[in-house]
Amino acid sequence: MTDVWINGTAMVQTGRHYNLNMDEMAARVLDEALKDAGYPELDALFVASATAEQADRQQMLGTYIAARLGLDKVATYRVENADGSGGSALMAAAMAVRSGVYGCVAVVGVDKPNDVLSNQQQDIYSTATDSVYERYFGVTPVAQAALMAKMYLSKYEYKYEDLALWPVLMHKYGASNPYAYIRKQAKIEDVLDSELVSDPLRLYDVGPMADGAAAAILCGRKGVAKVLGMWSSANAVPFNARQDYDVLYSAREAAERAYRMAGITPRDVATAEVHDSYSILGVLAAEALGLAPRGGLLASLRGGSEVRANLSGGLKSRGNVMGATGVYQAVEVVWQLVGRGPFKRVDGSIGVIHSMGGVDATSTVVVLGL
């Protein structure tokens, strides 16, 4: 089997891109990534998007992105796992190269949730929950995350002020990331005073919906960073039926298997981008990746340690670019490994991305190394 290397990367600043269609936005960032890779011949395009159909009424987004660049005859695949589409598309792309079928493929993540109103954003996001048994009754991902937050804080005897340390840290990192949507620092008072979204989660616990597009070129020939391990795992137990609510089962499994494939342990991880669609999920993801003991992350934040996760500012600062998130994470981890601006080179050669769909419905973990 062929090794898989990331040869080119590109991303745009996230936020509100009212003036760009999805396919155009994606095409532009794809072109940038191709340029970064030296314009290799592209065999296939893997498109990650959570909102293409529901917000912009577009199926087969890949074919239309290809049309904007004249990439005739390229194979196009649409990968959807809600806000975990990015990681899934990345892994699909990597598997395609690893199999030897394709020489170079692109993975492009694009979503424009700001094309619709905030209540419509919740409508779309709630289609990531069980449509018949959850969405129908008004359950949304933030409600599920809030239930987990309540139970986690109670179980480990934390106060909300402890959870608030996560968004404060995310804002600190995001403040130095010009690609992020929200770049202002946050004091703990800002978090505590912010309006309730679904208690105990407040505005600062929620990654704001943001438009974005990012792309990575994966080839069989040597590039900037190598895919050392990857795994995707679904948590097939419905939210209501889960045993424990202080663990992300899908993230834990995906991380374990991806680390095993890469031959690493959590100690080897120099940088990680995890899926903090909500602060509590970021905390749980970091623990699932072994960056802190179960139930222990907030205690270590409280004690003054900084977790080496989400140097981009995570979904908190980057915003929730939905399906594009996983691709952003890949670009950011590569830049953190090599020291490409705005990121300083991290101390180590291994980076991990954790991309998740819904509230622990499915996770993809990809291990990248120099």
**Which H helix or E strand runs over 174?**
helix 165-174
**Distance between start and end Cα atoms, the chain:** 19
Strand segments, DSSP code E, in 183-316 are: 196-198, 201-202, 212-219, 225-234, 271-273
Least distance in angstroms from the C-beta of 315 to other proteins: 16
b/e map 78-95, b = 16+ CB within 10 Å = bbbbbbbbbbbbbbbbbb
Stretch that binds other proteins, among 44-52, 81-89, 121-129, 330-338 (CB under 8 A): 121-129
- The whole-angstrom separation of Cα 16 and Cα 344 is 27
Query: Nearer to other proteins by C-beta: 115 or 134?
Result: 134
Query: Nearer to other proteins by C-beta: 39 or 137?
Result: 137
Query: Nearer to other proteins by C-beta: 206 or 214?
Result: 206
Judged by CB under 8 A, does residue 247 bind other proteins? Answer: no
Judged by CB under 8 A, does residue 130 bind other proteins? Answer: yes
Q: How many residues bind other proteins (CB under 8 A)?
A: 38
Least distance in angstroms from the C-beta of 358 to other proteins: 13
Stretch that binds other proteins, among 29-37, 119-127, 285-293, 355-363 (CB under 8 A): 119-127
DSSP assignment of 36-77:
HTT-PPP-EEEEE-SSHHHHH--SSHHHHHHHHHT-TT-EEE
Judged by CB under 8 A, does residue 21 bind other proteins? Answer: no
Judged by CB under 8 A, does residue 193 bind other proteins? Answer: no
Query: Nearer to other proteins by C-beta: 31 or 130?
Result: 130
Judged by CB under 8 A, does residue 196 bind other proteins? Answer: yes
Least distance in angstroms from the C-beta of 80 to other proteins: 20
Judged by CB under 8 A, does residue 128 bind other proteins? Answer: no
Judged by CB under 8 A, does residue 246 bind other proteins? Answer: no
Judged by CB under 8 A, does residue 305 bind other proteins? Answer: no
Residues in the chain: 370
Judged by CB under 8 A, does residue 238 bind other proteins? Answer: yes
Least distance in angstroms from the C-beta of 253 to other proteins: 15
Inter-residue contact 86 to 93 (CB < 8 Å): no
The vertex-101 CA angle with 99 and 103, nearest 5°, equals: 100
- The whole-angstrom separation of Cα 363 and Cα 84 is 7
Which neighbouring-strand residues pair with 44?
A: 75, 105
Question: Which residues are CB-contacts of 152 (< 8 A; sequence separation ≥ 6)?
Answer: 158, 245, 246, 280, 283, 284, 295
Question: Which residues of this chain interact with other proteins, rule CB under 8 A?
Answer: 118-120, 122-123, 126, 130, 132-140, 142-144, 146-147, 150-151, 195-201, 206, 236-241, 245
